[in-house]
Chains A and B, each alone.
Chain A
Amino acid sequence: MWGRGDPPPHFGTMRNFLIRRLIQSVILLFVLMSFTFLLTRMTPGGPEAALAEAPNVQQADLDRIRERFGLNDPLPIAYAKWMSNAIRGDFGRSYHYLRPPFDVIGERIWPTIQLGLVAYVIALVGILLGMIAAYHRGKAADLVIRVFTVVGDATPHWWMGLVIIVILASTVGWFPQGQGRGGVLDWFQHIIVPATILGLGGVILYTRFVRSQVLEVLSQDHVRTARSKGLDERHVARWHVLRNALIPVVTLLGSFLPFLISGAAITESIFNWPGMGRLFLEAATTRDYPLLLAILTLGTVATMVGTLIADIMYGAVDPRIRYS
C-alpha cells in the first residue's frame, strides 16, 4: 500500500520514461523540422514564381522579392537562419498576411478545434456501432453496419461533402458556408454537416476497431467466468467487455490531437470553414514558407504530444503495461 506522500508504484520508471521520451521528442522534432524545411524548399516554384505570369511584374520585381524573402541565400544558410530563429520561437513573417505566422494561426485554430471536437463526438458513435456489430455478429445488424463501414470507407469525403451540398441546396435551398455567427443555433447549423463528414472517418475507424476488440474480449476466460457467475449481461458488457475492449482505442487518441490542431483542408475548403486546414492549403499553394513551416511544425509537435499522451494513458488504463 502507498503511504501518504509516497510516490505511486512505478513512479520512478514513469518519470524516467517521460524524461527519455521528452529527450527523444526534442531530437525527433529537430530532425522533422529540418526535414520539413528541406522538403518545403525543394518543392518546385517559390512565392514569387506564380507572379511571373502577371503582366505588371517585371524581372526586377521578382529579383527584389527573392532578396526580400531571403530566397537567394544558399540552402544551408537559409536553413541555419530559419532553425536558429525557430528555436527561439521566431518563425518570421507570413509573406501574405504580413504578420508572424502564429498570429494568423491563433485566429484559425479555434474554429478548427471546434470542428474537430464536434467531429470527434460524432466519431464516438462508432464505439456503439462496434459494440452492436460484435454482439450481433453475423446477424442483420452486423451486416448493415459492416456494409456501412465498407461503403463509407470507400467514399471520398470531399465527394460526400459536395453531394450533401447539392442535396441540401435542392431540398431546403440552403447549405452551410462558414461558421455562422448568429448565435448557438446558427453555429450548430453550420458546423453539423462538415463535422459529420469529418467525423465519418472516425465512426468507421472506431466501429471496426471496437467490433474486432469486443469479439476478441468476448472469447476470453474472464468474460466466460463473469457470465458463469450469473452476472447481468449489461454488467458484463460494460465492466468486463467494453472496458477491456476500449484499452487499445485509447491509442487512437494519439492521432486525435494533431487532427484537432491541423484541421481538414478539403472539408474546410468546401464549407468555407475558416480553419487550419484551409490555411495550410493556402500557405502551400502560395508557397508562404514562414506560414507553411509554422503550421507544419505545430502539426509535428501536436503529433508528438498526442503520441506521448496516448502512451501515458495506455499505461494508466492497462495495468499490464509497464514503462521500462
Chain B
Amino acid sequence: MDRPARTLTRRRLIQLSAVTAAAIACQPVAPEASSSPAATSAARKGGTLRASTLGGLPKVLHPYPEPQNNTTPASDAQNLIWAGLISVDYDKTLDYRAGPKRDLAKDLPKISSDGKTFTFTLRDDIKWSDGKPITAADFQFAWDQASKKENNWVALTTVVDRIASFKTPDPKTVEVTLKDQLARFLALGIAGAIAPMPRQVWEGKPWLDATANPEVLKPSVVPGPYVISAITAENASYTRNPNWWGKQPNLDGVTFIGANPNTVLELLNTKQVEWAQSFAPAQYAQAKTIPHASVYEWSGATGSYRVMQFNLDRPNIKEKKFREALARSINRDDLLQFEENLAVPQYGFYTNGSKWRFDNAEKYNFDMAKAKQLLTDAGYKLDGAVLKDSTGKAVKIDVLWPTTSAPRGKIATYAQQQWKQLGIDAVVTGMEFNAFVDRYQRQRDFDVAMGSFSAGLDPDGVTTQIQTGGSQNANGYTNKRVDELLPQGAKEQDDAKRKTIYDEIQKVVMDDLPNYYMITLKNFTAFDKKVKDIVPLKGGDILRQNNLQVIDWWLES
C-alpha cells in the first residue's frame, strides 16, 4: 500500500485543498444494497463498528493540527468528532452545501458583490458535547488561535494567508473576507475552513503542549456526532455524543483497531472487526474469498493516480523526444495488472472522473516503433543492444520508487524492461519512503521517479505540480504560459470559461511532457455483510470525505 498514514488532509482541508477534478461517474460495484425495508429505526440502533486500519492510530486529536499530525488516522477521527460551517456533498452534487446532518451553518454563505466576503449564519440548535451552545465567539476564538504563525496550523499557507479578515459581528454570524477574489469552489473551501473551538475549555491553555493541555491529545468537548471514548496505542474508540444536535447516528460507537498489512484482512476474516478500511490491491482477491464480507470497488471523482515524473534538468531527460520515447514504450493497459486491475488508464493530470478532463491533449499511447524512431530523430544510435547519445556515451537513467508501494516498484521494473528494448540501461532503486521523497523532492537527484498524486475536486489543485517552483514540482518544470494561466483559472468565476483556461493548461503541459500520467486507482474496501446502508461515494473515499455517511450505517443483529 502507499503510505497509509501520511497523506490525507483533514475534512476541512480536503474541501479546501480542492485539488483536482470534479465529478463524474462513480460506478459502484457494490455487491449488495443494504438496508432491509422491514428494519425499523429502533432496530437499527446500537452496536459498535470495529474497523481495522493501516497507518497507526491518531497520536493527538488537535482540531488545528501541525502538518506532521495531519495524518489519515487523525482525519478519520476529525470526521467523527468535529464539525464545520459547510461541507462538500461527496454523495451527489460534488459541490458545497450546508448539510442538515452536521454542518453548523444554516445555509451556504451570502457572497458580497466583489466576491471576497462570505457571511455565514449559524444554525440555532447547535451545541457542544457538554450541552453548551456553539456561538460565533467560538469561531472567533478558533481563528484567533489558528491564525497565529507560532501555532503552526497545517493550513497556515493555504487558508490563513488568503484571508484578509475574520469577524463575528454577532453570536450567529461569521464573516470571512478573502484577500483576493477566487473561483467559487476554491473560495468556499477557504472561507468555510474555520471550525469552532470550545473557548470555555481551551482558553488560557497552551495550544500545542500535550503535557500541559491534555485537550490536545483527547479533546473533551467537541461539536461532532461522536465523542472520544479512549485513545490507546492499540485502538481508538468513539461513542455517541449525547448532546449531538443533528441526525442521531445508528451506531453507539466506532472503534479503529491498529493493524498491519498482514492482519488487516485477517481481522475481518476472524470477525474481530466489521470493516477492513484499506488494504493492498494484492489482497483484493483474498478479501473476495471471505464469505461474510462484502467487497466494494468503485471509481470516485477524487483519488490517487500514478505518475512517471521526469527530472527536466538531467541530460537526455531534458530532451522532449527522449521523454516521449520513454512514455511511448509504456503500455498503460499493461500497468493495470500491477494494481490487480483496480485501476484505469489516465491521460492527463485530471482523472477520468473529473469534469475538468481534456481529451484533446496528446496521450502518448504505446508505440514502440515510434519510440525508437524518436530516439533516432534525436540523434541517438543503437550500438548493438546499447543506446548511445550523440557523443557516443551509453545512455543510463536512474529510476526511483518508494518501497512502501509495491505496485510502483513493479511499474518501475516493467519500465526498465521496456526501456531495455530501446537500448536504455535503467537502474531501478527502491527507497524507504522518507528517503525517497527526500531524494526526489528535495535533492532532485533522479532521472525518473515513480510518483503518486491525489486528485481533488477543484482544478486548481494541480498548481503545486506544474507551477514554476510548486511544492510538488520536483521535475523543475517551468512554462510562462502555464504560470500566467494558473492564477487566471483560480480566479475565474464562470465554470465554462474556467474549463477553457484549464484545457489550455493541459494542452501546454501535455505537449511539454514533464510528467507521464499513467493510471488512476480505484477505491475499494471490505465490510462485514452485517454492516448496512453503505454507499460507495461518488466523490471518493468512503469515510474520509466529508459526508459522515457513518451516521446512517447500522449493524444487523
Contact B9 A45 (CB under 8 A): no
Question: Does the CB pair A52–B472 fall under 8 Å?
Answer: yes
Min Cβ gap B219→A in Å is: 13
**Contact bitstring A134-158, B, C-beta under 8 A = 1, else 0:** 0000000000000000000000000
* B461:A55 contact, CB within 8 angstroms: yes
The reply to whether the CB of B40 lies closer than 8 angstroms to some CB of chain A is no
Residue pair B68, A55 in contact (C-beta under 8 Å)? no
Give chain A residues whose Cβ lies under 8 Å from the Cβ of B263.
165, 175, 177, 270, 272
Cβ-defined contact, B154 with A57, below 8 A: yes
Tell yes or no: B155 within 8 A of A by CB: yes
Determine how close the nearest CB of chain A comes to the CB of B186; give it in whole angstroms: 13
- Which residues from 193 to 212 on chain B have a C-beta closer than 8 Å to any C-beta of chain A? 208-211
Given contacts A58-B464, A162-B262, A274-B234, contact A52 B435 (CB under 8 A): no
**Is A287 among interface residues, defined by CB-CB distance under 8 A?**
yes
Q: How many residues of chain B are within 8 Å of chain A by beta carbon? A: 68
Complex interface: chain B residues within 8 A of A103 (CB): 211
- B67-A107 in contact (CB<8A): no
Q: CB < 8 Å: which of A45, A179, A274 contacts B434?
A: A45
Which partner residue on chain A sits nearest B454 by CB separation? A55
Is A56 a contact of B68 with CB atoms below 8 Å? no
**Which positions 192-237 of chain A face chain B at CB distance < 8 Å?**
none
- The residue of chain A having its C-beta at the shortest distance from the C-beta of B70 within the complex is A54
- In the assembled complex, which residues on chain A have CB atoms less than 8 Å from the CB atom of B208? 98
A125 proximal to B (CB < 8 A): no
Residues on A with C-beta less than 8 A from B234 are 177-179, 272, 274
A68 within 8 A of B: yes
A7 at the interface (CB under 8 A from B): no
Contact with A along B399-433 (1 / 0, CB 8 A): 00000000000000000000000000000000111
Query: Of the candidates B9, B152, B434, B461, which one forms a contact with A64 in the assembled complex, judged by CB atoms under 8 Å apart?
Result: B152
Please determine whether B259 and A272 come into contact, CB atoms closer than 8 angstroms: yes
Across-interface contacts of B262 in A (CB, < 8 A): 162, 165, 270
Contact B157 A50 (CB under 8 A): no
Q: Is the CB of B438 within 8 A of A44?
A: yes
Bitwise, B123-155 to A at CB < 8 A (1) or not (0) is: 000000000000000000000000001001011
A174→B272 contact, CB < 8 A = yes
Closest to B474 in A: A52
Judge if B459 is at the interface, Cβ distance under 8 Å.
no
Chain A: CB-nearest residue to B260: A269
B94 to chain A, nearest CB (A): 17
A49 CA / B272 CA spacing, docked (Å): 35
Report the bound CA distance from A286 to B454 in whole Å: 20
- Asked if B471 and A178 make an inter-chain contact with CB atoms under 8 angstroms apart, the answer reads no
- B16 interface residue (CB < 8 Å to A): yes
- With a cutoff of 8 Å between Cβ atoms, the chain B residues found around residue A44 in the complex are 431-432, 434-435, 438-439
Nearest Cβ distance between residue B285 and chain A, in whole angstroms?
16
Docked-complex contact B266 and A55, CB < 8 angstroms: no
Q: A59-B469, A174-B272 provided; 19 other pairs, C-beta below 8 A?
A: A44-B439, A45-B432, A49-B435, A52-B442, A53-B437, A54-B70, A55-B9, A55-B19, A56-B9, A56-B158, A58-B471, A95-B68, A99-B211, A169-B270, A177-B234, A178-B234, A179-B234, A274-B234, A279-B233
B contact residues vs A (CB 8 Å cutoff): 3, 6-9, 13, 16-17, 19, 56, 59-60, 62, 66-70, 149, 152, 154-158, 208-211, 216-217, 232-235, 257-260, 262-263, 266-267, 269-272, 431-439, 441-442, 451-454, 456, 461, 464, 469, 471-472
Interface residues of A (CB under 8 A from B): 43-62, 64-65, 68, 93, 95-100, 103, 107-108, 162, 165-166, 169, 173-175, 177-179, 269-270, 272, 274, 278-279, 282, 285-287
A–B complex contacts, Cβ < 8 Å, 29 sampled: A44-B432, A44-B434, A44-B438, A45-B437, A47-B68, A49-B434, A49-B435, A50-B433, A52-B472, A53-B3, A54-B6, A54-B67, A56-B17, A58-B158, A59-B469, A61-B154, A93-B209, A96-B59, A97-B59, A98-B60, A98-B210, A162-B262, A166-B266, A174-B272, A175-B266, A177-B267, A178-B234, A270-B260, A278-B233
**Nearest 5 Cβ contacts at the A-B interface:** A45-B434, A274-B233, A44-B435, A45-B438, A178-B234
